[in-house]
A and B are shown apart, each in its own frame.
Chain A
Amino acid sequence: MAKITFITPDNESVTLEAEQGSVMELAVSNNIAGIDGDCGGVCSCATCHVHVAPEDVAKVGAASEIEQDMLELDDNANEYSRLCCQIEISEQLDGVTLTVAG
């Protein structure tokens, strides 16, 4: 079980619990604004962009090469950026904070 906190574009903080699946799926199924997940989670659309809190970067891990490339579609991307369909939920993610970039 992992508790994940999303900060939405309206600066709302929403904490959700999940055991499995991708972070994008968790966000979409809980209506987190700004996470669209248009491609269904196959790293093709870049509509699931989040900024990982700096202190959580180690827990969340780094983006793969294709993901890093896709992030460049968004001018808003930085070193903390991830496409959250590529983040698998596990206990390791417990307590992380993700700010929706969209």
Chain B
Amino acid sequence: MSDDLNQTCVIIGASHAGVNAAFALRKEGWSGPIVLIDGDSNLPYHRPPLSKAYLTSDDDISSHLLKPAVSYQQHNIELKLGVVVERLDATTKQLSLSGGEQLGYDKLILATGARAFVPPISGLNSAKHVFTLRNAEDVNRIRDAYNQLAAQNRCRVAVIGGGYIGLETAASLRKMAADVTVIERESRILARVTTAQMSEFFTELHQQHGVNIATDKQVEAIQPGPHGDIVRCSDRSEIAADLIIIGVGVRVNTVLAEQAGIQLNNGIEVNQYGQTSNPEIYAIGDCSYHHNPHYDRKIRLESVQNAVDQAKVAAAHLCGKAKVYDAIPWFWSDQYDVKLQMVGLSDDHDEAIKRQEPEPNKFSVWYFKQDQLVAVDAVNHAKAYVLGTKLIKTQQALNKANIVDASVELNLANLTS
């Protein structure tokens, strides 16, 4: 084993997953070279603020770094930024990098994440101000374009896609005084990711803040209008926009895995250690399709929690330790003054109970499957989130009457009595 620790580990993708893997490898005792490569030329940064605090600020992305530059030096992690891995040859264990360099590895971690999906919409390419929102460069361009347009009083923004990123972007742009319409194909926003109750809450929240939520609208074409662009939907409605943001989900970056002949399945398939079908190659973070033992099913997650936790598991396994991935997923989203915190997976629940606190905009929804707590969504209510986290783990039987009754204090004793 000590020999293995002297080998070269190359990590492709220097975002939440890749960066955490590099540092976790050092912590677990990896002594060989670690090379961390990313096509993005910025020092690795936090992605969640991109649609939130970073969008509304004029900060440089360097104020949201995952680690300071000096940390990489101190831990002897070689960063290759602005470098794309173009080919992976798993037989010779060689990578071809943009710029022509060849790089060999002993162990490889794919932390290639996902990219924004751009649906085939007629006229998209000729539209003036259309952006996706996945990396710092995207947001820099959105900020510049918006500021220029706003200076000419052209503040109409269409956000195509009512998922978390689309809604956070809508909230941020409202804060910047934009006139925002969210266009959603399904009959409710957040349809893919949460329950109808939560969709309803967020619809009202955005409407109260002056955002137009347009559901059941499939965008068909974008056409030039007299001022700005016209977004044309399948129901023949038209939405005029000076700036268009596409937030309709992602595509996993699997090209390299495909070249290596690794098994794919809704992402890159991995075992409980983050190992792909090629035992020398691991896949972690947004790109990995993995089994969650707690829910006993295979999932792909897009969250900081998953990226960080899988990074630690893969690093431990590479260093000869048999840590397995068994985290209960959690996620947050910040919109206006509302903090949503989610723990667990709610998609196959058979019962949902809501607890409304006396304060407005403070509530939690508790999801059960066969009387087992499987998930909690908490709005401005960290206590419910924390208790949910603990109770999903312990799988205790819960007193549902006490959950619903907001006059009963929310604590472990009352919930389990």
Interface set of A (CB-CB < 8 Å, partner B): 28-31, 36, 38-40, 42-45, 65-67, 69-70, 72-73
Contact = CB atoms under 8 A, between A and B. Distances in A.
B386 A44 contact: no
A40 B68 contact: no
B269 interface: no
B64 interface: yes
B389 to A, nearest CB: 6
A25 to B, nearest CB: 8
Contacts of A39: 48, 304, 332
Contacts of B65: 29
B71 A69 contact: no
A66 B16 CA distance: 25
Nearest to B71: A31
Contacts of A45: 304-305
Contacts of B386: 69-70, 72-73
Contacts of A73: 386, 389-390
B68 A30 contact: yes
Contacts of B381: 69
B46 A40 contact: yes
B70 A31 contact: yes
Given A31-B68, A42-B48, A44-B341, 18 more contacts: A28-B67, A31-B67, A31-B70, A36-B308, A38-B304, A38-B308, A39-B332, A40-B48, A40-B64, A42-B52, A42-B332, A66-B339, A67-B382, A69-B382, A69-B385, A70-B386, A73-B386, A73-B389
16 contacts: A28-B67, A28-B68, A30-B68, A31-B68, A38-B305, A40-B64, A42-B48, A42-B332, A42-B339, A43-B339, A43-B382, A44-B332, A69-B383, A70-B382, A73-B386, A73-B390
A94 to B, nearest CB: 23
A44 B70 CA distance: 26
Contacts of B341: 44
A30 to B, nearest CB: 7
B213 to A, nearest CB: 25
A30 B71 CA distance: 8
B394 interface: no
Contacts of A31: 67-68, 70-71, 74
Contacts of A43: 339, 382
Contacts of B380: 66
B49 A40 contact: yes
B334 interface: yes
A77 B239 CA distance: 51
Given A39-B304, A72-B386, A73-B389, A29 B68 contact: yes
Contacts of A28: 67-68
Which of A36, A38, A43, A44 gathers the greatest number of chain B CB atoms within 10 Å?
A44
A41 to B, nearest CB: 9
A85 B48 CA distance: 16
B417 to A, nearest CB: 18
Nearest to B52: A42
Contacts of A65: 382
Nearest to A33: B27
A67 to B, nearest CB: 8
Nearest to B75: A31
A23 B304 CA distance: 21
A70 B65 CA distance: 23
Contacts of B16: 38
- Return the 8 tightest CB-CB contacts between A and B, nearest first: A69-B382, A40-B46, A44-B332, A69-B383, A66-B382, A29-B68, A72-B386, A70-B382
